Amino acid sequence: YRVQRFMNRVLQDEHFGRVTEVDASIQLNCDDVEKVGVKLPLRKQDGCIRVLGRFCVLVSTLFFNRLGSFAESARVKSSKVGQNGEIIAAECNVKFTKDRQLNFYVAYIHSATRQSIELKATARYATMNDFVIEHPDGLATYRVYDRIASDDGKNNVTSGDSIDVAMGMGQERVLWRNFVRLSHELDTQGGWNDSETTAECRELTNVSIQTKKILIALMESYEKGGSEIPIDGLVENGNK
């Protein structure tokens, strides 16, 4: 609900300009790991790219797909490993078609949990905090800023709006409700076909496939010392 409101705010803003980049960060306090389905002590398979990076990749892929951009390559720029071989910090980059990219940093930390996502465009940029784990006060804040280029080539912020978004229904409840609704739509249409009714089903399926491909490419990049790994099989309609 929170991310959807955030995305709609950007996509429906005709003055936002051309979106070129998404920057995301999730730094999770070790005491909060159960909130993302992990338990202490961390195991090798609990590395932050797979556990935390999936949220950054999923949101960005969904957003870029709606703009007609699909992943081309992925790379782990830097990483840190814990005592059990698990990745405890990583800085990653994913390049998309039409000259767009995702940069994200994920880590397990011992200080307070911090999470944010920023969408950058030619005329404006937007930020949102608490986009994965709910804040204790039940609100998430997103801000939209205008910016103009100065003579030195840098962008200067001129004004901005701040909006508090209520959390709405819990994530698990939303997932189950959407699952039931989409399943009913598929049954009503008599299966999987190219119609507006099942368009959301196809979109979410394509995004899920792409998210998995990106995460696989990132892990391959990590294993190969940070090499840039091409992502094959993604075409302009989002199908394999």
Of the two residues 67 and 91, the one the predictor is more confident about is 91
Q: What is the pLDDT of residue 134?
A: 74
Q: What is the pLDDT of residue 179?
A: 52
Q: Peptide bond preceding 41: is omega within 30 degrees of 0, i.e. cis?
A: yes
Percent of the chain exceeding pLDDT 90 equals 47
Of the two residues 185 and 172, the one the predictor is more confident about is 185
Of the two residues 50 and 138, the one the predictor is more confident about is 50
Residues 112-119 have a mean pLDDT of: 91
Residue 47 vs residues 39, 67, 79, 229: alpha-carbon distances, Å: 12, 30, 10, 19
Q: Quick check: helix, strand or coil at residue 13?
A: coil
Query: What is the Rg, in whole angstroms, of the alpha carbon atoms belonging to the chain?
Result: 18
In the predicted model, is pLDDT for residue 228 greater than 90? yes
Is-above-0.85 flag for pTM? no
CA–CA separation, 108 and 95 (whole Å): 25
Q: What is the pLDDT of residue 33?
A: 94
In the predicted model, is pLDDT for residue 233 greater than 60? yes
Structure tokens at 186: 């598929």
Q: Quick check: helix, strand or coil at residue 98?
A: coil
Percent of the chain exceeding pLDDT 70 equals 65
In the predicted model, is pLDDT for residue 165 greater than 80? no
Q: What is the pLDDT of residue 157?
A: 47
Q: What is the pLDDT of residue 169?
A: 45
Least confident of 106-115, 148-157, 208-217: 148-157
Q: What is the pLDDT of residue 1?
A: 53
Least confident of 8-12, 100-104, 106-110: 8-12
CA–CA separation, 67 and 61 (whole Å): 10
Average pLDDT, the chain: 79
Q: What is the pLDDT of residue 191?
A: 61
In the predicted model, is pLDDT for residue 189 greater than 70? no
Burial 190-227 (b: 16+ CB within 10 A, else e): eeeeeeeebeebbeeebbebbbebbbebbbebbeeeee
CA–CA separation, 25 and 53 (whole Å): 9
